[in-house]
Structure 1
């Protein structure tokens, strides 16, 4: 990646309309032949924890424990199938995809930064021709997920990702852009010279207005998806 600038994009509800981790999990359980109600049962505690204000990093780790023992190869194949189905259901947010295309045309490197994982991110990155994708990396041993992750790519970690890209790939953060839809994306947006707050998250919107950040409000709000 020889560009001197990059455009960093959060993924869920920024580039795509859904929370990919949950959307994929529901698809995967159905594909695996699990009984009706399995998805709701497995995610009930995660949703309750999120509603109670449990830090996103903690919820993120708990989510990946649901995959303990699962084959990484099988998950990757399911991710491709999930993506094909999701694209048919209007997966992408047109305004941010257009922004990504504009950055690519200008010669900026595209970097996806997400708490999601390879099953979801790899097909999305391929479709958008991302130069680099940094997601939460599950620990894999003997081809199977252990249920643990290296580091949840959430909150302050996203800001550190931007700094790492700048150091390793030689991009100038002052010339870089970043797009995110949630207050947890503030560290990523604050790391660059051209931050863009996507959507109408109240905390992020208030911060963006005080900081004078650009805003991008899609014509159609992202759906309240699983």
Structure 2
């Protein structure tokens, strides 16, 4: 198995789908701007600084899903895709994905699968490892199922994904991981070919010191 792994936000996308989803709900009047906008920005700043408490953030991010019927959420998401996400796809993303067309391509993202599954479908990537929001009879509860796909959790979730296919790292002939974020250092260190994509300052310094390629998709 030749495994090509891709972070999503600020890597394949020239922006952050998690952050933009909350902003979209604020713009729609679904979330109160005064209450949510500052918190959304604060969590995003913590993420970029590597200090995010993922469980505190997920409580903030997933609870709005539990307040609305799934049909309404899906309708909002379709508009979100058209207005926010499709214009956000980085210019170099299609060529990078095509480069790995003969490999097993997987998006590995901390952002929840409700937000990211339609994005992966739009990009033509069948395999998605994301944080999983709990749903009962199709409706979200506001809680998380399993390990969040964040930092070391990305490694754990990838190993679970491989095991679910009767595979392990020993079956991976070669591997790549493309990411922008210092938060992805655990998985970048695990693959054979780590690649920093439009990286934050911490990841850029680490990549340069380690001799990892640094590329831009923008």
Question: Which of 22, 25, 34 is the aligned partner of 1:25?
Answer: 22
- Alpha-carbon distance in 1 for matches of 2:142, 2:192: 37
| 2:142 aligned counterpart, secondary structure | strand
Question: Are the structure 2 counterparts of residues 213 and 161 from structure 1 closer, same or farther at C-alpha, using a change threshold of 3 Å?
Answer: farther
Aligned residues: 213
Runs of 5+ unmatched residues, structure 1: 221-226
Separation in 1, partners of 2:47, 2:11: 19
Q: Deviations over 1:172-204 (max 9, x none)?
A: 445111101001111121221111111131211
1:224 equivalent in structure 2 = none
* Higher share in helix: 2
Q: What root-mean-square deviation, in Å, do the aligned CA atoms of Structure 1 and Structure 2 show?
A: 2.7
User: Structure 1 residue 47: deviation in Å?
Assistant: 5.4
Helix, strand or coil: the match of 2:191?
Answer: coil
Could you say what secondary structure the match of 2:194 adopts?
strand
CA offsets, 1:107-140, max 9 Å, x none?
A: 1111011111233212211111112101111112
Residue 29 of structure 1 and its aligned partner are, at CA, apart by 3.8
What TM-score, normalized by structure 2, do the two folds share?
A: 0.83
State the SS of the aligned residue for 1:116: strand
Task: Structure 2: give runs of 5+ residues left out of the alignment.
Answer: none
SS at match of 2:115: helix
Given candidates 153, 156, 159, the residue that maps to 1:157 is 153
The question of whether the paired residues in 2 share the 8 Å contact of 1:71 and 1:143 is answered with: no
Alignment of 1:81-160 (within 5 A): 81-87=79-85, 90-104=87-101, 107-150=102-145, 151-160=147-156
Greater strand proportion: 2
Partners of 2:25 and 2:70 in 1: CA distance: 13
